[in-house]
A and B are shown apart, each in its own frame.
Chain A
């Protein structure tokens, strides 16, 4: 943002301090993440930089934690990853199906009590997580489904659906209804219209909602602490136990992998956004 040549000095000062402040805030946001990456290569089993590492001595670095993560028998990060992916997969499907249907209904002009129903549907997002966790634990305990796969997936669907509802209703708000009417007038039945016309156009909204629901389930720690059992050990749960008790840098190795995973997710979302803008004919 180049300043016009006639800008006075005091405004230049303002401008550069503004850039400095913004720069520091961005740094504050992103730098902590990257502290973890070098620590995962620490040769010593402690979560702080050893002197060898600070001197950039190659002996201070090793891949032992990555080996422990993949091959280590005690922590079974592999099993935790499998559980996390399994649970997140089913939770995402459940959230997307229920959420998309509800969003379609809510976006219709003819929906009665829209605001009230909307706030009920997104209530899991509003209530503090600890309360949701406790409430879901008690109700699942009554039906005997705590410490089961189903119980955890159900809980994650509850938490993930509001995101899908919000993103899909936002996408549908820009949706031109005349297209469906045109399709109907050309002889298409509603189901056909939905799958051939509506779905492709709201796909970006569904997919970003699905991504939100996936990340919510994959990262979820509070509810699963109450509702899950030892067979539902997920990556965040394992990390939580690790951070409180075992403190081996294997956690840093897992954290690095998660950062890489998030970056990939972010990249895919960005590419999706650009694609949808191309489809809609808007410029990037």
Chain B
């Protein structure tokens, strides 16, 4: 064994080294700490509480304090007995005094349609109720109080936490037997939107890929002088405001817009049969493709730039046709660029809100618009957050899949 090495001040080198390294680790950690804490506190915790909000029903629970206990003893068949109605009368009277009956009406309406008008009507008649015999008086005020489904909905609503918003996210509901069924057809909307969003996201990703590949190749292979100028064509839209780009498409694609005018001028389309390209799926698709194209071009470009031109020349010199060389040599080398661009475009497309809201009309709206609708119009915040959580989960799954695929590919190439 050799002599242990000592530093100039007599300490063991290995000890001194460890100290220096841990000092460096601490410094690095401290540099990262401010942003880390910032992101966790202002961003990750809020996202977590978002998920909690989707199952949180404590507000409605707190308004129906008396009803909560008594109604859970009811077995769900026929009608509950007098104690439940008495308890509910107490809760509703207190709510009217505190002006909370509107909130109860809206919240209960999410459970069972018709509750909104029922509660409001009953609240107005509440003052005229006499002491005792509440069940009969409720039913006399409105016959819906004698219907099992309404009382069942009340029973379901009086829980502090519920997962039912996740069912609504997929147009499902729990019926009186406890089975999970689809809601009536005329009200089904969410599943359509999920499928539409996925289709649009995949479609836009694919069309971006088709359009981006040739131009990324051109940018990566032409002389720097031309490539820089052409790059401006990619970067200028990228740096321009999203609203500006969307509004320019509104101008181009509307029925009396530039594109239709050109088509009519060249006689391709008759004036009375102008193409309807705006305020529908077509408008959303085209606009989103153009807006997301730079996100596909840039990763592809950066990967293609690293591919040496000699590879293709070597392949052709060994007898391969250019097409074959492209398929076997060039294309596989660009996989990491393709996947990086695809995941980026897919995630952005799935979450898009502004563009579909402006150009989608009624048929081109996506799931983000629905989330915003619940946040701003119907104010069913538990549903909005439940849908947001499902969207987030979808995106994370997409990332996980991407990781797995790229991992496998990398092993194959390397």
A contact set with B: CB distance below 8 Å = 1, 11, 14, 18, 21-22, 25-26, 28-30, 32-33, 35-36, 39, 47-49, 54, 98-99, 101-102, 104-106, 108-112, 117, 120-121, 123-124, 126-132, 134-139, 154, 157-158, 161, 165, 215, 218-219, 221-222, 226, 235-236, 239-240, 243-244, 251-252, 255, 258-259, 262-263, 265-266, 269-270, 284
Q: Judge if B232 is at the interface, Cβ distance under 8 Å.
A: yes
| CA distance in complex: A203, B211 (Å) | 34
Q: Mark B284-306, 1 if CB is under 8 A from A, else 0.
A: 00000010011000000000000
Is B293 a contact of A29 with CB atoms below 8 Å? yes
B contact set with A: CB distance below 8 Å = 21, 24-25, 27-36, 38-40, 42-47, 49-50, 53, 211-212, 214-215, 218, 221-224, 228, 230, 232-237, 239-252, 254, 256-258, 261, 290, 293-294, 322, 347, 350-351, 353-354, 358, 368, 371-372, 375, 384-385, 388, 391-392, 395, 399
| CA distance in complex: A255, B233 (Å) | 18
Query: Of the candidates A54, A135, A165, A218, which one forms a contact with B47 in the assembled complex, judged by CB atoms under 8 Å apart?
Result: A135
Is B368 a contact of A126 with CB atoms below 8 Å? no
Query: Of the candidates A111, A123, A132, A262, which one forms a contact with B25 in the assembled complex, judged by CB atoms under 8 Å apart?
Result: A111
| CA distance in complex: A126, B256 (Å) | 38
CB distance from A229 to the nearest CB of B (A): 14
B258 closest partner in A (C-beta): A35
Q: Please, which residues of chain A bring their CB within 8 A of the CB of B228?
A: 270
Is A25 a contact of B39 with CB atoms below 8 Å? no
Q: Please, which residues of chain B bring their CB within 8 A of the CB of A14?
A: 322
Q: Please, which residues of chain B bring their CB within 8 A of the CB of A240?
A: 243, 354
Query: Of the candidates B28, B244, B391, which one forms a contact with A128 in the assembled complex, judged by CB atoms under 8 Å apart?
Result: B391
Q: What are the 8 tightest A-B residue pairs by CB atom distance, in nearest-first order?
A: A128-B351, A105-B31, A139-B46, A105-B32, A108-B28, A102-B35, A135-B46, A32-B248
Q: Please, which residues of chain A bring their CB within 8 A of the CB of B243?
A: 219, 221, 236, 239-240, 243, 255
B223 closest partner in A (C-beta): A1
CB distance from B309 to the nearest CB of A (A): 11
Is B290 a contact of A29 with CB atoms below 8 Å? yes
Is A259 a contact of B244 with CB atoms below 8 Å? yes
Q: Please, which residues of chain A bring their CB within 8 A of the CB of B354?
A: 221-222, 240
Is A266 a contact of B236 with CB atoms below 8 Å? yes
Q: Please, which residues of chain A bring their CB within 8 A of the CB of B244?
A: 33, 36, 239, 255, 258-259
Is B28 a contact of A36 with CB atoms below 8 Å? no
Is B241 a contact of A126 with CB atoms below 8 Å? no
Query: Of the candidates A98, A120, A221, A262, which one forms a contact with B239 in the assembled complex, judged by CB atoms under 8 Å apart?
Result: A262
Is A110 a contact of B24 with CB atoms below 8 Å? yes
- Can you list 15 A-B contacts with CB-CB less than 8 angstroms, sorted by A residue number? A22-B218, A26-B230, A30-B236, A32-B249, A33-B244, A35-B258, A36-B244, A105-B33, A106-B28, A110-B28, A134-B388, A221-B243, A236-B243, A243-B243, A258-B240
Q: Please, which residues of chain B bring their CB within 8 A of the CB of A123?
A: 39, 43-44
Query: Of the candidates A127, A215, A252, which one forms a contact with B395 in the assembled complex, judged by CB atoms under 8 Å apart?
Result: A127
| CA distance in complex: A252, B350 (Å) | 28
B293 closest partner in A (C-beta): A29
CB distance from B272 to the nearest CB of A (A): 18
Is A111 a contact of B237 with CB atoms below 8 Å? no
Query: Of the candidates B53, B233, B258, B350, which one forms a contact with A138 in the assembled complex, judged by CB atoms under 8 Å apart?
Result: B53
Is A48 a contact of B254 with CB atoms below 8 Å? yes
CB distance from B50 to the nearest CB of A (A): 5
Is B368 a contact of A32 with CB atoms below 8 Å? no
Query: Of the candidates B47, B223, B351, B375, which one forms a contact with A129 in the assembled complex, judged by CB atoms under 8 Å apart?
Result: B351
Given A101-B32, A127-B47; A26-B233 close (CB under 8 Å): yes
CB distance from A8 to the nearest CB of B (A): 10
A162 closest partner in B (C-beta): B39
Q: Please, which residues of chain A bring their CB within 8 A of the CB of B247?
A: 36, 47, 239, 243, 251-252, 255
| CA distance in complex: A161, B254 (Å) | 38
| CA distance in complex: A47, B241 (Å) | 18
Q: Please, which residues of chain A bring their CB within 8 A of the CB of B249?
A: 32
Given A32-B252, A120-B39, A221-B354; A104-B31 close (CB under 8 Å): yes
A24 closest partner in B (C-beta): B211
